[in-house]
Structure 1
Amino acid sequence: MSEDNDALLRLAADLVAIDSRSFVSNLAVAERIEAELPGFEIERLDYADANGVAKRVLVAHRGPRGGYALSGHMDTVPDTGWTNPPWTPRLDGGVLHGLGSTDMKGPVAACIVAARGLPADVPVTLLLTTDEETTKEGARAIAQRSRLARSLDLKGIVVAEPTGLAPVRGHRSHIEYTAVATGVQAHSSTGQGVNANWALIPFLAEMKTIAERLRSDPALQDPGYDPPFSDFNLIVDNHGTAVNVTVARATARIKFRRSRNVDTSAIEAAVHAAAERAGVALTEKREGTPPELPEDHPLIRHAVAETGQPARTAPYGTDASELQAVAPCVVLGPGTMTTAHTPRECVAVSDLTDAVPLFRRMLSAAQT
């Protein structure tokens, strides 16, 4: 066990030390991971993201067909707000610090150490994605293009996001709206320009009404989630325009997280109608259907039995929204979301080391 723990901490630290923010290439991380998987059949799914950046997804397998898979993502959020070096892993008082330590390079390291330590006759699969923090394109590549994953007849997938090692049986997924208003750039004193914000503001006013409705209308809420109302988060961008220049382009982005059991068609229609009235161009990107398994699903019962903790739901999203097309998913991993996406990101070493035997028990059950 000490050998496992040492290998786990070395690998977690090595992965944290490699910059793999979603807007940069993850090839170095993928290559470092592949070096840890001798004896595994490995399928590489390469693609270029929307900005032309090279990305790689790994599907690794050893043993018979018909088992469970462990899944994690290689990318991280940006290093916003960090004062300590984000890619210098630091171990302090039994806690690993660094960007991606909990979300989710530490959990990915635990998956790898757990998988390679099992007997050769136990089916072991790893689904290692990227762009989870942005587009879910890596998970979508597995769901749509992986011949290896499709050939394995997987019974289930453990998405090892940080849950405190408690099973999450369902979560929300999002629609991302982008609304663009167009103006004419000019020196603001000349009266020759057209400020795009004036077209965007009426649209934003209607979006505020929708956001308030989501929080107040019980028909649009899911009591099985905490919070029960959907996230409707707005970001506005004038693309660096100075205050003495009329705005040529004003962009609003909204992340709308919805639950599987709530009919949001009226909200979706209202967003499109508001954009049409305001004369702004609207596009959308959708994740897969919000994944949610019933409490009596075999994968959920298995996770509950192995963890001794009840299954719950979560308000965030994961690759399960896309990977559910391959096999049923449960979200279950070390660490918590408390410091994820913050400049204080860290994970307790004990959480990582506890995950390894739990993952092995989950995988070994495929033989029974």
Structure 2
Amino acid sequence: MEPSTAMGITDLSAAAALAELVRFPSVSAISNADVSERVHQWLASMGFAVEVTEYRDEAGVAKVNLVARRDPQSRSASTTGGLAYFCHTDVVPVADWNGPGGDPFEAVVTDDRIYGRGSCDMKGSLVSMMQAASRISAADQTAPLWIVCTADEEVGFEGATHMVHHSPAYREIVESQPLAIIGEPTGLRVVHAHKGITGFSVTSKGRAAHSSTDEGVNANIAITPIMELLCELAETTRTDPSLADSRFDPPHLSWTFGISDGCTAVNITPGRSVAWCSLRPMPDINGESLIARVESEALRRGLTFRRFKGGHPVWIEPDADCIESMCQIAGGPPMTVCYGTDGGEFDELDQRVIFGPGNIAQAHTTDEWISLDQLHRGTELYAQAIRRWCMQD
């Protein structure tokens, strides 16, 4: 799509810049190349050198990651440390939209809120960071500043994984060990830890036929014992103290499961049935022994077991210097959350914190929004973080 304006990020209000990014319908199923190009232009206009890496997803769709770096102008300044901000440019699909305006990709500002798909998760955060960076001159920097934008966070952290393995610029970040801010919506509270996510499926193959005959083989029969086991293990995850971590709320693995046989009529003998399960590993409790039980039982019964790619949990000690320093900027103690982020892919970075404007409760909703107050406060706090980690004497 064609962007609505060629104005630079410094020429736009936060609301206007966010509206510009929302107009790109960068759902994970399609390419994020257009929105990445707009962000690339804005970053280049602020003096960032931008590395662009591309890959194709499993469907053959072109995806783009950006790693932008702005170094201090002084030759005597440090080339290590600094600050690296991470975000994703993909958004979740829109099945129904109940927000004002009727179009999820045309942002609407009303009642101190900006409505639109991706406004909260997480294009608003990216706008806050870019506007914060625009307030600080490279001449005043004493350490590097990075802004990193990945694809496919919403569908398995694929963009972050590709960047970790294929981006020379990301290798520079690892060598420099800056503070890494993953800018997901936390309501501008400091998050020092989160759960991961993983899952699997079990497939039973029978033979479809008209249910009035004996020609069919009902695939649900073979998979019923697997469903019983999944139900049993769900109860185990909630009652076994060794599978609980009170540092998270809820403290269990959030073991969730379901089944689909694809039948659209009652007079069909189901020829294929798929049971699925997802869970959220914690730093010290990964649920792998439970997954192994299901896999063993599935294979014993001649069923197909398939593991899904997931994301790793994050745990940075709450009294780590980077967490305590970020808490001083944000105000308030650190906390844990139970959703996952790209931050789980960046385990080579020792200083990580999840911190961004917007409330996770507004993400992925049918009327997704971020408040103007969060957007502006995000800019202010990000600017303070840049000064703390990129402008030290």
Q: Shorter-chain TM-score: what band?
A: over 0.9
Residue equivalent to 2:378: 355
Q: 2:253–2:287: 8 Å Cα contact kept in structure 1?
A: no
Q: Is the 8 A contact 2:156 2:311 kept in 1?
A: no
Q: Measure how far apart 1:109 and its partner are.
A: 1.4
Mapped pair 1:170 → 2:193: yes
Partner residue of 1:200 out of 210, 223, 235? 223
- 2:79 is the alignment partner of 1:61: no
Structure 1: unaligned runs, 5 residues or longer? none
Whole-angstrom distance in 2 between the partners of 1:328 and 1:236: 40
2:15 alignment partner, one of 1, 4, 9: 9
Matches within 5 A, 1:191-340: 191-239=214-262, 241-262=264-285, 264-340=287-363
Q: Does 1:71 align with 2:79?
A: no
- Give, in whole Å, the separation in 2 of the partners of 1:36 and 1:239: 46
TM-score by length of 1: 0.94
The amino acid that maps onto 1:86 is P
Partners of 1:310 and 1:220 lie apart in 2 by: 26
Map residues 83-162 of structure 1 onto 2, 5 A cutoff. 83=98, 84-121=102-139, 122=141, 123-152=144-173, 153-162=176-185
Does the 8 A contact of 1:234 with 1:252 survive in 2?
yes
**Are the counterparts in 1 of residues 157 and 311 from structure 2 also a CA contact under 8 Å?**
no
**Aligned position for 1:52:** 60
- Return the alpha-carbon distance in structure 1 between the equivalents of residues 350 and 86 of structure 2: 12
Q: Which range moved further: 266-275 or 292-301?
A: 266-275
Please give the alpha-carbon distance, in whole angstroms, between the structure 1 residues aligned to 2:196 and 2:155.
12
Unaligned 5+ residue runs, structure 2? Answer: 1-8, 73-78
1:36 and 1:189 mapped to 2: Cα distance?
A: 64
Superposition deviation, residue 351 in structure 1: 0.1
Structure 1 residue 149, shift from structure 2 partner: 2.0
Kindly indicate whether the alpha-carbon contact (under 8 Å) linking 2:311 and 2:340 is maintained by their aligned counterparts in 1: no
Deviates more, 1:265-274 or 1:238-247: 238-247
Give secondary structure in 1 for the equivalent of 2:221.
helix
Q: Secondary structure at the match of 2:362?
A: coil
Q: Partner letter of residue 252 of structure 1?
A: A
Which deviates further from its counterpart, 318-327 or 16-25?
318-327
CA distance in 2, matches of 1:225, 1:33: 35
Q: d(CA) in 1 for partners of 2:348 and 2:309?
A: 15
TM-aligned CA deviation for residue 328 of structure 1: 2.9
Give 1:179's aligned residue: 202
What secondary structure, in the 3-state scheme, does the structure 2 residue paired with 1:32 have?
A: helix
State the match for 1:26 in structure 2: 32
- Output the CA distance in 2 between the equivalents of 1:180 and 1:351: 45
Cα distance in 1 between the residues matched to 2:92 and 2:383: 29
Structure 2 letter corresponding to 1:79 = V
Aligned equivalents of 2:338, 2:326: Cα separation in 1: 19
Instruction: Say whether the 8 Å CA contact 1:164–1:335 is kept in structure 2.
Output: yes
> Residue 340 of structure 1 aligns to which amino acid in structure 2?
A
Cα deviations across residues 85-135 of structure 1 (Å, max 9, x unaligned)?
221211111101111110111112112222233211422101111111111
Matched residue type, 1:132 = E
| Paired amino acid for 2:70 | R
- After TM superposition, the score normalised by the length of structure 2 is 0.88
The Cα shift of 1:4 comes to 6.3
Cα 1:9–1:291 shift into 2, 3 Å = same
Question: Which amino acid in structure 2 is aligned with residue 59 of structure 1?
Answer: V
Q: Which moved more, 1:54-63 or 1:138-147?
A: 138-147
Cα pair distance change 1:236/1:225, threshold 3 Å? same
Distance in 1 (CA, whole Å) between partners of 2:349 and 2:310 is: 15
What do residues 41-62 of structure 1 show as CA deviations (whole Å, max 9, x unaligned)?
Answer: 1111111111111111111111
Contact 2:83 2:146 in 1 (8 A): yes
Kept after mapping to 2: 8 A contact 1:202/1:278: no
Q: CA deviation at 1:266?
A: 2.3
Which stretch of structure 1 is more off in the superposition, 236-245 or 259-268?
236-245
Report the AA paired with residue 357 of structure 2. P
1:303-323 CA-to-partner distances (Å, cap 9, x unmatched) read: 111111111110110000102
User: Given that residues 37 and 116 in structure 1 are in contact (C-alpha distance below 8 angstroms), is that contact kept between their aligned partners in structure 2?
Assistant: no
Q: Is the 8 A contact 2:198 2:311 kept in 1?
A: no
CA 1:34–1:4: 2 relative to 1, 3 Å: closer
Conservation of the 8 A alpha-carbon contact between 2:230 and 2:294? yes
- Tell me by how many angstroms 1:273 deviates: 2.3
Letter in 2 for 1:181: S
Superposed CA RMSD: 1.9
Indicate how the Cα distance of structure 1 residues 5 and 307 shifts in structure 2: closer, same or farther if over 3 A, else same.
farther
User: Cα gap change, 1:168/1:185 in structure 2, threshold over 3 Å: closer, same or farther?
Assistant: same
Distance in 2 (CA, whole Å) between partners of 1:325 and 1:200 is 40
Structure 1's 216 and 5: CA in aligned 2 closer, same or farther, altered over 3 A?
A: farther
Q: Structure 1 54/242 Cα, relative in aligned 2: closer, same or farther at 3 Å?
A: farther
